[in-house]
Chain A
Amino acid sequence: MKNIRSEKTKNRNERAYNLKLVSIGSVIILLVIILAANILFDKLLGKALTFDFSSLGKYSISQTTKEVIDKIPESEPMRIVGLFERPTNFEYSIYEYIVPLIDVYDNYAGSKISVEYVDPETYPSIIKQLDPADVYDLKSDTYVISYGDKLVVVDPYDCFYWNEDALNLNQLLPTANMVEYTFTNTINQLMVEYTKKAYFVTGLQEDASINLMSILSSIQCDSAELPVSEGFKIPDDCDLLILNGINADIPERVQEEMKTYLSKGGKLFVAVNFYSNASEKYEHLNSVLATVNISIDDCIIQEADPSYVLVSTNYEAYVDIADEFKSFIDNASKLQASYARPIRQTDVLASNAVSYPVLTTSDNAKTQIVKDNALELANEGKYNVGMYATYSSGDIRPEVYVFGTTDLSSDAYISSYGYSSNNISFTISCFRNMLNVAPGEYINVPVGQLDSRKIDSTRVTATSITLLAIVFVAIVPLLFIICATIVYNRRRHL
């Protein structure tokens, strides 16, 4: 055996063999070195050798954010999940401001924050994993930040303020970049323990309330759903009952439970509108509200005062904040309300309750009622769009806010106008008042900048575009093609 091998070695011509060995060996060694060096560099120096030279520093996180991240305990990491495939080309999209910034969070936080992008269409299991109780109705194209058993949904569009005029033109133009503000505050709020719990009554064809849940979590209030099933029972830990954007009346059996809830000093928030449920009279709900002297009418308010009107159909208009509630919001005395139902005091007053207007129309608003499938003009006058009620005396003080519009709490409104719009600030104040919690701890994170790549429109006329197009797309390439032909022909005949 040994003999054969030595024989073989002898026969093999040594020099070529050695050269081959050197050749293949060196290639392998180089490959290993390159891989090792890259992996090592990546792991050890990746952070140190990354520099944010962006002119606006929009991919650096502020000191405040760093402090918030530092607060996250190592033992309980936070999870940021983008419910979409990580975009690779964010050209002209808001992801340009979000995705790289979230990476910076990730880089800074190390193991404290994990960032993933999971498309629920590919992995439906992610939804169940993040939200096992199916409270949040998680949708694609949002970020979910989960921490322990808490969870907040951040819609990328809510990280910006938008030019509202442009919204109508269907041309989205962000006017402020609140990405870092939103994420840092959300992270910060997630670390605060919930002290209150709100229940959203479901099963009434209600609209989604994800954004409202986020708002509640910002004031340390947890959210849960409460379906109007058989044996409907308002739990004892319920600090606030919410009927947000319901489109159907509550069933009769729920009625008594809610009356009892109120009589024991429960807090209730109701928001309905006329738009999607014109025929609904809310008889059972009204019978509950009657215990605090409030009734929802089944007609629609049409504003007539031109200084109030927002849209020419007159269904979208400003509403005044009643004097008692002006303190709920600084520097604004009007809110917006659309397709509103009037909220009024009941005709027969309960002696122990007292109700106040919260939002009112102008003096010359009108109402329209549905008759024979058409709207018919009813009375003229001043209407309430929102009312507040409580008991006039005693230790038990239920509190009820009823709004005839969903513009103060709907996801649709919040998505369009943002958390810091006047309407939403007002709603937050209502919640805070009822729940008696300190103002949500919004920390001051510098507002990010937006790139403006705009060119001077006076210099870019149709003519100049045509001219440049001819030069860059036609003349320059053609010149080179001509050069190629000339060179080819001249040299060919040399």
Chain B
Amino acid sequence: MFAIFKRELLSYFRNPTGYIAIALFSFISGVYFINLLTRGAINISSEITQMRSFFIIIVPIVTMGLFSEDRRRGTEVLYYTNPITLFDVVMGKFLAAMSLFFIMFINVFIHMIMTKILGGVVVTGDWGTVIVFFFLAALFVALGCFASALTDSQLISAIVCFVFILVIQLVSTFASFLETGVVTLLETFNIVNSETANAIGSTISDAINWLDPFTKTNNFRYGVFSVIPLFFCISIAVFFLYLTFRILEKKRWSQK
């Protein structure tokens, strides 16, 4: 695992990719930080929360080449014919991408120190958002790995990953749309009375919202930590990593 991890992490810095991702992150987080600064009150967790909405750009940049490039240039054969398991390969690449996120995140740590220097406060809730950031990153990077393993084109994998993240970011919006739709439908055709219709609508939206990792982890920033949402993120990440592993494995026995 370490061999793959080392190569992939170093590869970010042998190519412009890693630097560009870090530059992008530095720039966006910097803009937010300065924006907060001008307001006279720095809530570092709001900066981190804002950064989460840029997963949609940064994650595809980081993950798009992880597996698709190996396919394209034929290096994936190395993973099958050397004494390592495919699980090592998946984990190594995943951890390399996560490490890049950690390196990017140093920006925020510097902003935190800056906040302290400027007489502001960094409260427990802020560390909560840091934890959440990495768990969400794990989820999305796993998703990105999966998208990258699906194809041999970086572009396609980036688009697929982008769409995946977009869908997840829109889960709550989608849920409320669906809720409104269902309720309106039920009420217009008088299938059930409005109270039941509302109940059905909210049950549906609750069920969909249950899948939304953003809503789940919202309370961390207020210092209310819960193990469940983290477990949720990690289990989804594990699922997608396993799926990635299976896709690589499939290459072996696939008859197509």
Distance of A432 Cα from B1 Cα, bound (Å): 76
Distance of A37 Cα from B121 Cα, bound (Å): 37
Distance of A16 Cα from B121 Cα, bound (Å): 60
Contacts of A484 in B (CB 8 A): 16, 19-20, 23
Residue of B nearest to A20 (CB): B253
User: What mask results when residues 218 to 245 of chain B are scored 1 for a CB within 8 Å of chain A, else 0?
Assistant: 1100111111100110011011001100
Distance of A468 Cα from B246 Cα, bound (Å): 47
Contacts of A13 in B (CB 8 A): 255
Distance of A487 Cα from B22 Cα, bound (Å): 14
Contacts of A344 in B (CB 8 A): none
Could you tell me if A481 and B226 are in contact, using CB atoms closer than 8 angstroms? no
Q: How far is the CB of A125 from chain B (nearest CB, A)?
A: 5
Q: Which of A101-158 contact B (CB under 8 A)?
A: 103-104, 116, 118, 122-123, 125-126, 129
Could you tell me if B225 and A50 are in contact, using CB atoms closer than 8 angstroms? yes
Classify chain A's interface size. 35 or more
Contacts of A374 in B (CB 8 A): none
Contacts of A481 in B (CB 8 A): 19-20, 23
Counting CB contacts under 8 A, is A23 at the interface?
A: yes
Q: How far is the CB of B254 from chain A (nearest CB, A)?
A: 8
Counting CB contacts under 8 A, is A332 at the interface?
A: no
Could you tell me if A100 and B219 are in contact, using CB atoms closer than 8 angstroms? yes
Given contacts A30-B239, A41-B228, A483-B19, contact A477 B27 (CB under 8 A): yes
Q: How far is the CB of B228 from chain A (nearest CB, A)?
A: 5
Counting CB contacts under 8 A, is B13 at the interface?
A: yes
CB < 8 Å neighbour of A59 from B31, B223, B236? B223
Given contacts A42-B228, A484-B23, contact A30 B242 (CB under 8 A): yes
Could you tell me if A459 and B24 are in contact, using CB atoms closer than 8 angstroms? no
Distance of A387 Cα from B13 Cα, bound (Å): 82
Distance of A479 Cα from B239 Cα, bound (Å): 37
Q: How far is the CB of A488 from chain B (nearest CB, A)?
A: 5
Given contacts A53-B225, A54-B223, contact A473 B242 (CB under 8 A): no
24 residue pairs from A and B, CB less than 8 Å apart: A27-B246, A37-B231, A46-B226, A49-B228, A51-B224, A53-B225, A55-B123, A55-B223, A59-B219, A100-B222, A103-B219, A104-B224, A122-B180, A453-B43, A454-B41, A465-B37, A465-B38, A469-B30, A472-B26, A472-B111, A476-B30, A477-B30, A479-B23, A484-B16
Residues of A within 8 A of B (CB): 13, 15-16, 19-20, 23, 26-27, 30-31, 34, 37-38, 41-42, 45-46, 49-55, 58-59, 85, 88-89, 91-92, 96, 100, 103-104, 116, 118, 122-123, 125-126, 129, 451-457, 459-460, 465, 468-469, 472-473, 476-481, 483-485, 487-488, 491
Residues of B within 8 A of A (CB): 13-16, 19-20, 22-24, 26-27, 29-31, 33-34, 37-38, 40-43, 46, 49, 107, 111, 114-115, 117-121, 123-125, 128, 172, 176, 180, 183, 194-195, 198, 202, 210, 214-215, 218-219, 222-228, 231-232, 235-236, 238-239, 242-243, 246, 249-250, 252-255
Q: Which 3 pairs between the two chains have the least Cβ-Cβ distance?
A: A54-B223, A456-B119, A472-B30
